[in-house]
Structure 1
Amino acid sequence: MKKKPIIGISGSMIIDEGGMFPGYKRSYVNNDYVKSVIEAGGIPFIIPMNNDEEVIENQLDLIDGLILSGGHDVNPLLFNEEPHQKLGGIYPERDDFDFKVVKKAMNKNMPIIGICRGHQVINVANGGSLYQDLSLIEGCYIKHNQGSLPSQATHTVTVEKDSVLGGILGEKTYSNSFHHLAVKDVADGFRIVALAEDGVVEAIEREEKPLVMGIQWHPEMMSGVDKGMMDIFKYFINECKNK
């Protein structure tokens, strides 16, 4: 039997605010990432957050592809801006971890998908920038932080037909939405491949192989009810088999 590809999912840290151990740190990822990888034919491998470069290097040697998970706002100092009044919570230690992970993974030429924060990290780590809040984008009118169920699609996304994502989803799809930052200047070597109807960037792809893709919405939350979102993970895992 051919070995299934091992997919690393970047972890985060949650700090208990009550209970028996207030202030206690726990490494985690949301389970939808794990479920999506398994259902798409891969083996999930959670990469615990740490800042030891040798450890990260060895963690990446164990995997065939990388998913950068969602979470905190990206520190604007990393793209040479001071924090705006509407910036949310940042976690510099996680920024350091994610930047090391994505840069080392790209150096190893492995397929990468970044989701929500992960999409933004890919852009900033490669020299791009972000809007620190959607209110700073002229013409932005869509509700991008929905108040409905995680798996519920709430707005339209137009996808470039000649992109990898367009080949998976077609030229139009419907996404869920949980963000208030967005891509501003796109990193060199990447291009915008999906937009919301108000012009907010919904996906980017690297122009050369292997696949490095950022997706602003959360396909892992929709993959159990939406074939197209599951197909994103299936395509990605197939790329990891062939790397």
Structure 2
Amino acid sequence: MLYNHFYGQFDCCDTMPKITVAVSDSPEVGSRSAPSVKKSFSSVKCNVVDADFRIMMRDIPKEVFEEAYKTTEGRKKLFLHAKYMATKILDKVDCLALSGNVAMIDPALFNQLPDTNNNFTYDLSRTIAELALIHVATQRGMPIMGICGGHEAIAVYYEGTLRSLTPAESNQQGYMAYDKIIFNTESILGQLFNSHEKNLPSNSPTVTRNFFGAHKQIVDKLKPSYLKITARASDGKLIEAVEGKYGAPLIGMQFHPEITIHGVFPNASNMGTEAEKKVSLKIFHFFFKAAEAYNNKKRVNSELKKVTSVFSEVTHNVEKDLVSVKNTIKEKNKNAIKKSKLSSIKVESIDQNNTPTKTLLNNPAIFWKGKKRPHSELENAQCNQVVLANTM
């Protein structure tokens, strides 16, 4: 009965639930890449919901946000609010995907001065919200994908820095164009792409793929203790992809695999070839499997908590029963001791004339009508000590 109760808790694990991915997006702002990210996840059978960064920060009036953002202490308070909202969003999802956007990340968040050479726009509340999403997802061991601006947000969260592309670098890569990306074959992405490279030597350290790019800001420096560089641009220098060193899969990509598959919203322009689509789709399928593993872990942990609760209840009841048994035994021992004492008292008062036992009656030499006389050691050993004491 107990076995069925415990192991019956896991019956629900036989039915696989729909895997859900939260994509950072807001209808209020719109995006030319987020719709393609969502479609790409839908292509690998994922359910998709918005991690709406506007809703996350809506409770804070604009003027209050702007005033708080001016100081480090104020930004911490904004971040705490964003973390609370991120927790609510991520409670029911299995993967976080941070899509690209046209706004840049404020240099103040990585301890640098504003770029006066470019007329960049900043979406401060979005950045705070996305950093909070990364924080909560990381704490939970949830897979995280970052694309373009999402990739840069991951780098900033892990204490990296950003910088603007120079005109020469922009010309080298192209803007809103495809360019060659060089991947380390030991990285997750490198292994995914290497499986499609028929003519690549087995010991080759890199594999190249063409991807769409549309960015003006790039990751400059990383904290090596958190992230590792796994891909560079065609010049072999600029960082194009990073991966987390520990825990659940964490991959940041400066390029846009979703554009290869579904094009730029709304007219689906700039799509890749069919072969390139298959390669890009492998990234989303990989994250589907990672999200599935996270979902399994989450459900097993939930079931273990239920079983632990049942065990705790059973243990508590057993402990109560043990206490009850101990108390019963203790009470019986007390009663036995009382009876033993009463028996001794009765023996001492059986007969005021010291009526001897049968042994003494059969040995009149020892018991001599109550008269006191000395006894030998052998005689003492043969006598009832209680009765003998009254005959001395």
TMscore range, shorter length: 0.7 to 0.9
The partner residue of 1:192 within 208, 229, 244 is: 229
What is the TM-score when the length of structure 2 is the normalising length? Answer: 0.54
Map 1:1-243; keep pairs closer than 5 Å: 2-12=16-26, 14=28, 30-49=34-53, 50-51=56-57, 52=81, 53-71=83-101, 72-84=103-115, 85-86=117-118, 88-131=120-163, 133-135=164-166, 141-146=171-176, 154-170=178-194, 171-187=207-223, 188-198=225-235, 199-224=237-262, 225=274, 226-243=277-294
The percentage of counterpart residues that share the same residue type is 24
For 1:139-171, what per-residue CA distance to the aligned partner results, in whole angstroms no more than 9, with x for missing partners?
A: 77513412x5xxxxx210110000001011221
For 1:149-206, what per-residue CA distance to the aligned partner results, in whole angstroms no more than 9, with x for missing partners?
A: xxxxx21011000000101122110011100101111133111101112221110001
Q: Structure 1 residues 87, 182: closer, same or farther in 2, change over 3 A?
A: farther
**Counterpart Cα distance in 1 of 2:31 and 2:284:** 23
Structure 1 residue 28: Cα displacement: 9.9
**Counterpart Cα distance in 1 of 2:31 and 2:147:** 18
Q: What SS does the aligned partner of 1:176 have?
A: strand
Letter of the structure 1 residue corresponding to residue 227 of structure 2: F
Q: What SS does the aligned partner of 1:101 have?
A: helix
**Counterpart Cα distance in 1 of 2:143 and 2:233:** 25
Letter of the structure 1 residue corresponding to residue 110 of structure 2: F
What is the TM-score when the length of structure 1 is the normalising length? Answer: 0.86
Higher strand share: 1
Q: What SS does the aligned partner of 1:66 have?
A: strand
Match of 1:22 in 2: none
Q: What SS does the aligned partner of 2:172 have?
A: coil
Structure 1 residue 208: Cα displacement: 1.4
Q: CA RMSD in A?
A: 2.1
Match of 1:19 in 2: none
Structure 1 residue 86: Cα displacement: 1.5
**Counterpart Cα distance in 1 of 2:122 and 2:95:** 26
Preserved contact between residue 33 and residue 259 of structure 2 (Cα < 8 Å): no
Preserved contact between residue 11 and residue 28 of structure 1 (Cα < 8 Å): no
**Counterpart Cα distance in 1 of 2:149 and 2:31:** 17
Q: Number of paired residues? A: 225
Structure 1 residue 30: Cα displacement: 3.0
Q: Which runs of 4+ in 1 moved over 4 A?
A: 26-29, 138-141
Which range moved further: 120-129 or 221-230? 221-230
Q: What SS does the aligned partner of 2:251 have?
A: strand
For 1:203-239, what per-residue CA distance to the aligned partner results, in whole angstroms no more than 9, with x for missing partners?
A: 0001112101100011111124411111100001101
